[in-house]
Structure 1
Amino acid sequence: MEVNKDWEECTSDAAVAEAARLTDEQYNKKMQRRKEVQDKRIENAISEKGLIIVNTGNGKGKTTAALGMVIRALGHGYKVAIIQFIKGAWEPAEKKVLSVWSDQLEFHAMGEGFTWETQDRERDIMVAQAAWEKALVYIKNPDFRVVLLDEVNIALKLGYLNLEDIIKGLEQKPDLNHVILTGRGAPKQLIERADLVTEMTLVKHPFREQGVKAQPGIEF
């Protein structure tokens, strides 16, 4: 957290404006002091820790950011599991692209679409719970370094899953393994338990402002 705070301070509008007023010599001295502080923080930091990561908020990019982490993990040779709790009624393009890592990746698109499409709450609950049972197998498996629970926050928000069950399940993950949970409306208890939380803020959206439908390569 301190590292992030230091980076935010360094790149704030005030800091950038101040840096622009410094002479080269003053700037070099300032950056040297900052580097010494940063190096000390890194020296005292924990080398590894399995993280619970939450991407939430009304803005776009929650799943996209999580998939970036998935690609990094695959690039390091780690095994990864993706369980999609809402998507599944259509074939997501990311599943096709990631299929080249079939020896490292398990991909399960288990949802049946959005609630206004399924119009069957009982079945939605059954499907979400089946997806959670599948996810829990990977969460507890030490061979899977990263597990992505895509749109699980939506399933929680709609009451399809029990939050206490999810929290207990997350506690069963191996110490060095990471679990990523995406979707708007992440509950407070989950946010408090997480190690890394990012909230995507909606500023403009082409569907809301211009009536532009979901497009391949952007939304799916």
Structure 2
Amino acid sequence: MTPETDPAPPHDAEDTPEDLARHAAKMAKKKAARDKIMAGKSGEKGLVIVHTGAGKGKSSAGFGMILRCIAHEMPCAVVQFIKGAWDTGERRLLTEHFGALCQFHAMGEGFTWETQDRERDVAAARAGWEKAKELIRDPAIRMVLLDEINIALRYEYLDLAEVLAFLRDEKPEMTHVVLTGRNAAPELIEAADLVTEMTLVKHPFRAGIKGQPGVEF
């Protein structure tokens, strides 16, 4: 076996005093380097956050942030652009248990291939964007999740330049805005402070397994 393929030593293997001393010195060095990095990062600001990519988890990550805001008693809001017709677990949870802290607005009528009516889709997206602007402008709301807005932008139901200008010029300084959905526009990625791309490695849908409660919605 090569060193790269040798199995790791058993978890309960006894360490010598020299091993423990080396480990302690290594961790102390790492902590000092980390503390030095963190010492220079004291600023805070409201972030524009983008979750995109072909992999699952974009909306899930956004809702995870919403739950963190709720745990910190930070007022927040959700605007859903595409999944509005779905009875999702996150919608039930937030509206039934956390309505005092999190506003939830489902503006879409389902996925675009279900309506087959571009005018209706555009109208629903515009209504969602108007609500989103109202929520983002409110400085008391600390985070606004724009779920699947990237889909509305991709199909040109909304004007990308208008969205970018609003985020640049009208978003309060300390408000976080999270935009999810596949195929985020390069201009949006450039303007964002934090961008995560979910990579598809494997998905049960390809094996004939439908979306299931608790996993997909």
- TM-score (norm. length: structure 1): 0.87
The yes-or-no answer on 1:90 pairing with 2:86 is: yes
**Distance (whole Å) between structure 1 residues aligned to residue 211 and residue 87 of structure 2:** 14
Tell me the matched-pair count: 201
> Match for residue 166 of structure 2?
169
> Match for residue 42 of structure 1?
38
> Match for residue 48 of structure 2?
52
Structure number with larger C-alpha Rg:
2
Percent of pairs with identical residues: 54
Over the residues paired in the alignment, what is the CA RMSD in angstroms? 1.7
- Alignment partner of 1:131 out of 128, 133, 139: 128
**Distance (whole Å) between structure 1 residues aligned to residue 158 and residue 138 of structure 2:** 21
- Structure 1: unaligned runs, 5 residues or longer: 1-12
Runs of 4+ with >6 A deviation:
none
| Deviation readout 1:146-192 (Å, 9 max, x if unpaired) | 00000000111111111111111112111111000000100111111
- Alignment partner of 1:105 out of 102, 105, 119: 102
- Structure 2: unaligned runs, 5 residues or longer: 9-17
| Deviation readout 1:18-74 (Å, 9 max, x if unpaired) | xxxx93322222221111111111111033211111000000011111111000101
> Match for residue 202 of structure 1?
200
The yes-or-no answer on 1:121 pairing with 2:118 is: yes
Structure 1 residue identity aligned to 2:187 = Q
SS of residue in 2 equivalent to 1:40? helix
- TM-score (norm. length: structure 2): 0.88
- Alignment partner of 1:179 out of 177, 185, 189: 177
**Distance (whole Å) between structure 2 residues aligned to residue 154 and residue 46 of structure 1:** 35
**Distance (whole Å) between structure 1 residues aligned to residue 56 and residue 63 of structure 2:** 13
> Match for residue 191 of structure 1?
189
